[in-house]
Structure 1
Amino acid sequence: MSNLDLKPAPTECGGTAPTGPVRDLIEGREVSLGESTLVRRLLPTLGRRMVGAWCFVDNYGPDDIADEPGMQVPPHPHIGLQTVSWLHAGEVLHRDSVGSMLTVRPRELGLMTSGRGIAHSEESPRPHAHAPILHGTQLWVALPGDHRDTAPAFEHHPVLPEISGGNGLRATVILGTLDGATSPGTAYTPLVGADITAAAGTDARLPVEEEFEYAALAMSGEAVVDGVPLPVGSLLYLGGGR
């Protein structure tokens, strides 16, 4: 039912960050992306719209696309955000309205800043010319108010900093700063995104910022995060204050 009040009083709708750690396991819902790709949408979801400035997470694959068209997302617009393309297998051809045309490959950062407006498409190279497996995640970052109208741009960073521990843990810093290593990708708000690989039996901790919110996404394998088993394709929201 519509609210016909011409001068309604403001209503607090929530959405503030928790003051301490939580353990909220989020299962992805299946969504069709473009013409032929199914993804697991993890953010936004009912009760959880954002994790810090991260406002959108789609996880997909691994999908066998050897005889399929693969990802075919036609041109569409974005404003006021950044898209982060991150692959574990396959490749995605990015084209946009500022003249970029580049293929993003596994463990390379494809970072598009829409700012005041950009249109782009994402597609697997033509059948029989692309890798047989497609596996990755796309994330969005909400731009802060004073950067929402920044000029649109696309960045491609094939080499990213890594950190490692002697206990079988390795992390690639995708965006922001982790343990003193900083991604070359442009960030307009304090955040961190990292791809973490741990050998079987690894028991490790990573440094965190107490004022940040955190979440963990399982891309493959088995993991337990803060005592919670994390199934592949799910997101564990960890809250803040850690």
Structure 2
Amino acid sequence: MASHLERNDARKGHKRRPHSRFPGRSEVVSDTWIWGWHAVEAALGNPARGAPDRLLATPERSRQIEGRFGRLAELEPADNQLISRALPAGAVHQGVALQAAPLEPVGLDEFEARPGAVLLMLDQLTDPQNVGAILRSAAAFGATGVVLQERHAPRFTGSLAKAAAGAVERVPTARVVNLSRALEELSGLGWRAVGLTGEAPRDLAEVVDGQPLVLVLGSEGEGLRRLVAEHCDELARISMPGGFESLNVSAAAAVALYEASRPRR
């Protein structure tokens, strides 16, 4: 895994560094690892993942993995210090880390537009902790899937996968180049888009009607971008009777998912 290896070059006197299975943190490629017990357990149990490239675990976690999945040839016993060396600084790995190929995104036409179905669309949300928490809420409330941009969105590894606590493996995800065009395509497939903004005249509870729904959330700093908002069928706000007009975007997503998933008469 070591990167930035010096090439052998007799003219310059450079020598190649010896290979290490546990590189220094400055050499770690952080977007290829998943860590934390729930995230790794879910990844190992997901047949879409295939065999991991590497799997590091302490003796205790190794016994848990063997009890749950049987003997895995990829399992490498390691202590906490060695696992930490393979990961970015500060990674709370809980004694286990996995390196695997990323999950393949799904196409928009794979989301079934059935009554009561809810999709989340994230407009340039880049914070891994927030996106991970949103995925966790999406799994908890049975969301059909999540739509993100190909760019301006974090990878579903590292701290994001840890925050999602296994939801990365459960929530289908589509990555698109342009969110406005994606909303047009989803409209043609039978979905109705509602953008969340505090300035909207109507409350989300008034807008949700049981049709297949795309909830569109903007970033904490900028909110919904103009073109994305214009491609929504309607804008709505989350009512906050306490008078404190501010919610973290992951908390707002959880409230919106709860409201959208409530049975309608």
Same-fold call, TM > 0.5? no
* Bigger radius of gyration among the two: 2
Superposition TM-score tier, normalisation by shorter sequence: under 0.3
Higher strand share: 1
Task: Tell me the TM-score normalised to structure 2 length.
Answer: 0.21
Which fold has the larger relative contact order, with Cα–Cα distance below 8 Å and residues 6 or more apart in sequence?
A: 1
Task: Tell me the TM-score normalised to structure 1 length.
Answer: 0.22
